Amino acid sequence: MDASNPTGTEPGLPGLSDGDRAAADWQLAVAGFGEEGQRRLKGASVLVSRIGGLGGMVAFHLAAAGIGRLVLAHGGDIRPGDLNRQLLMTHDRIGTPRMDSAVERLKALNPRLEIVAERANVSDANAARLVAQADLVVDCAPLFAERYALNRAAMAARKPMVEAAVFDLEFHLTTFVPGETGCLRCLYPETNPAWTRRFPVLGAVPGVAGSLAAL
């Protein structure tokens, strides 16, 4: 063992407070994760594009797990039709910004969490700036214009991107790692003209997909 690092953990990782340890008690016991894994999580920053039914579940699980910082991007106000799947939104907040409700719920879950809130959807205008603030990108946008913009920025910054999508009773998950895999445009060279903003989805499907994407 290195005498200068008697714990054997990676130097430079943030320490855990008593509150951190209490909140993470059950997952600290997971083999291969432990305190170093928790410290890595606390020191990490993740960008989640859209925090509706899919991205909201990703953000929820990362916040509960003890992620240090979330960079969230989502515009618009809460509508009644959101509530079958967007679990960070509530009926009493209909008509108010989605981001405000999401930040409030996530901070209530984990008051130690740092949140960077972008009250707009990802576009070519903001993608590079948002990606620069994160170690990992999770794409949960419903439209390909947003997905392509985020993918370009992630590839340019050499940041890995988890791609998550839902439709009807189906979901799709994949990960793009610059220098090791192809990219989103490689997988989907063209936008499917049948894909529109409004599509069928059972509320629990993005919950399942978002939980897996958070892993």
CATH number for the domain that contains residue 102? 3.40.50.720
Question: In terms of DSSP H, where are the helices of 33-191?
Answer: 34-42, 53-65, 98-109, 127-131, 144-157, 184-187
- pLDDT surpasses 60 at 22: yes
Residue 2 lies in a domain: no
Residue 201 lies in a domain: yes
Residue type, 71: V
Question: In whole angstroms, what is the distance from residue 151 CA to residue 139 CA?
Answer: 8
Residue range 133-156, pLDDT digits in tens = 999 999 999 999 999 999 999 999
Predicted model pTM: 0.92
- pLDDT surpasses 90 at 11: no
Percent of the chain residues past pLDDT 90, beyond the cut? 86
Question: What was the pLDDT predicted at 152?
Answer: 97
Quick one: CA dihedral 190, 196, 202, 205, positive or negative? positive
What backbone torsions phi and psi does residue 70 show, to the nearest 5 degrees? Answer: -120, 130
Question: What was the pLDDT predicted at 5?
Answer: 45
- pLDDT surpasses 70 at 3: no
Residue 131 lies in a domain: yes
Q: How many domains does the chain fold into? A: 1
Residue 45 lies in a domain: yes
Residue 94 lies in a domain: yes
Question: In whole angstroms, what is the distance from residue 67 CA to residue 46 CA?
Answer: 8
Residue 6 lies in a domain: no
Residue range 153-196, pLDDT digits in tens = 999 999 999 999 999 999 999 999 999 999 999 998 988 776 66
Residue 9: pLDDT band by 50, 70, 90 thresholds? low
Could you report how far apart the first and last alpha carbons of the chain are, in Å? Answer: 31
Question: What was the pLDDT predicted at 194?
Answer: 66
Residue range 95-116, pLDDT digits in tens = 999 999 999 999 999 999 999 9
Question: What was the pLDDT predicted at 193?
Answer: 72
- Print the domain residue range for 95: 18-188+195-214
Residue 6: pLDDT band by 50, 70, 90 thresholds? very low
> What rounded mean pLDDT belongs to the chain?
93
- pLDDT surpasses 90 at 12: no
Residue 10 lies in a domain: no
- pLDDT surpasses 50 at 2: no
Residue 1: pLDDT band by 50, 70, 90 thresholds? very low
Residue 67 lies in a domain: yes
Mean pLDDT of 192-210: 84
Question: In whole angstroms, what is the distance from residue 57 CA to residue 206 CA?
Answer: 8
Residue 198: pLDDT band by 50, 70, 90 thresholds? confident
